Amino acid sequence: MTDTAADLLAGSRRALARAITAVENDAPEAEAILRAVHPHTGGAHVIGVTGPPGAGKSTLTDHIAKAFRAAGERVGIVAVDPSSPFSGGAILGDRIRMGDLALDPGVFIRSMASRGSLGGLARHAADAAALMDAAGMGVVLVETVGVGQSEVDIARAADTTVVVLVPGQGDGVQAIKAGILEIADIFAINKADRDGVPQLEAELNAVLDLAERRPAWRPPVLRTVAKTGDGVAELAENIVRHLAHLRESGGLESRRLARAEAELLARLEEGLRRRVVAAALPPERLAALAARVVRREADPYTLTAELLAECFAG
């Protein structure tokens, strides 16, 4: 086992920080660390908090973290912001924002910004959550901005997903369009101090009435005012209730199985892609073949078929 992994498992915050940095940088030691800590994961309740920019996810995440701290849990926070140019846990705003939480030794906060592809970011966030899990955090909150596919990917790594929407902005319609309803286990109508709350509630409930997908768990639609903390206790209760429901219904097992399948497939595809490309298309050959395509001496369809046949011959 690597020193970093052993120290992380022994509770070192510095080792946890180092491990997340390794993951974020796709450093060579990252895989060895993840491999070593894997047997020690699975204990944390991973909670995704997602929704449009400015909905109040960060503010709400702070309050949820405090609620779980008050219940005696150690809490990890992974704040993902693909739009931020900063990384390495040094997003100044987040540090200031979470000032009092950052001083709590029972809380570990890490911000991750875009580095490479969004898909990479989703994987890094999931790996960071796993590292916090292994380090003994009973609850890991993963905050993600936006409602695009990468956020859906991140949400799939969570046991419970809270979708945060704001009244009066057509968020309900947007959420339906973005397919975010499918990933929501709980809706938080944040900024409930503003106008338009009953309308958004009615919109969401109308859609939930139509969707019979999870009859045993109807996602509750809750009101929160993250600025003051109003409604957060009820939100935290529903998060805990959702985990209990997953445990009792076998849903936790099936979600985690689906997640493991997706991860195995994604890793195999990535590994395969790299090996095949490296073997079949070194840069000079790629350039030469591209030139033939442009000169109309060959077409890309035939060439691809030939390359694949070459890779898997014999």
Which residues of this chain interact with ligand GDP, rule CB under 6 A?
A: 53-59, 190-191, 193, 225-227
Nearer to ligand GDP, 19 or 188 (CB): 188
Nearer to Mg ion, 58 or 87 (CB): 58
Residue 146 binding: pick among Mg ion, ligand GDP, none (C-beta 5-8 Å cut-off by kind): none
CB 170 within 8 A of CB 204: no
Q: Is 2 in the site for Mg ion (CB under 5 A)?
A: no
Query: Smallest distance, Å, CB 166 to ligand GDP?
Result: 8
Residue of 58, 144, 190, 238 that binds Mg ion (CB under 5 A): 58
Nearer to ligand GDP, 60 or 129 (CB): 60
Residue 225 binding: pick among Mg ion, ligand GDP, none (C-beta 5-8 Å cut-off by kind): ligand GDP
Kindly identify the residues of this chain, within the stretch 12-51, that bind Mg ion according to CB under 5 A.
none
Query: Smallest distance, Å, CB 63 to Mg ion?
Result: 13
Q: Which stretch binds Mg ion (CB under 5 A): 10-18, 53-61, 244-252, 265-273?
A: 53-61
Kindly identify the residues of this chain, within the stretch 153-182, that bind Mg ion according to CB under 5 A.
none
Residue 59 binding: pick among Mg ion, ligand GDP, none (C-beta 5-8 Å cut-off by kind): ligand GDP
d(C-alpha 105, C-alpha 90), whole Å: 18
Query: Smallest distance, Å, CB 163 to ligand GDP?
Result: 11
Write out the chain in H/E/C secondary structure: CCHHHHHHHCCCHHHHHHHHHHHHCCCCCHHHHHHHHHHHCCCCEEEEEEECCCCCHHHHHHHHHHHHHHCCCCEEEEEEECCCCCCCCCCHHHHHHCHHHHCCCCEEEEEEECCCCHHHHHHHHHHHHHHHHHCCCCEEEEEEEECCHHHHHHHHCCCEEEEEECCCCCHHHHHHHCCHHHHCCEEEECCCCCCCHHHHHHHHHHHHHHCCCCCCCCCCEEECECCCCECHHHHHHHHHHHHHHHHHHCHHHHHHHHHHHHHHHHHHHHHHHHHHHHHHCCHHHHHHHHHHHHCCCCCHHHHHHHHHHHHCCC
Q: Which stretch binds Mg ion (CB under 5 A): 58-66, 70-78, 193-201, 214-222?
A: 58-66
Residue 99 binding: pick among ligand GDP, Mg ion, none (C-beta 5-8 Å cut-off by kind): none
Residue least distant from Mg ion (Cβ):
58
Nearer to Mg ion, 8 or 141 (CB): 141
Query: Smallest distance, Å, CB 54 to ligand GDP?
Result: 5
Residue 191 binding: pick among Mg ion, ligand GDP, none (C-beta 5-8 Å cut-off by kind): ligand GDP
- Which are the contacts of 269, defined by CB distance < 8 A and separation ≥ 6? none
Task: Give the binding site for Mg ion (CB under 5 A).
Answer: 57-58
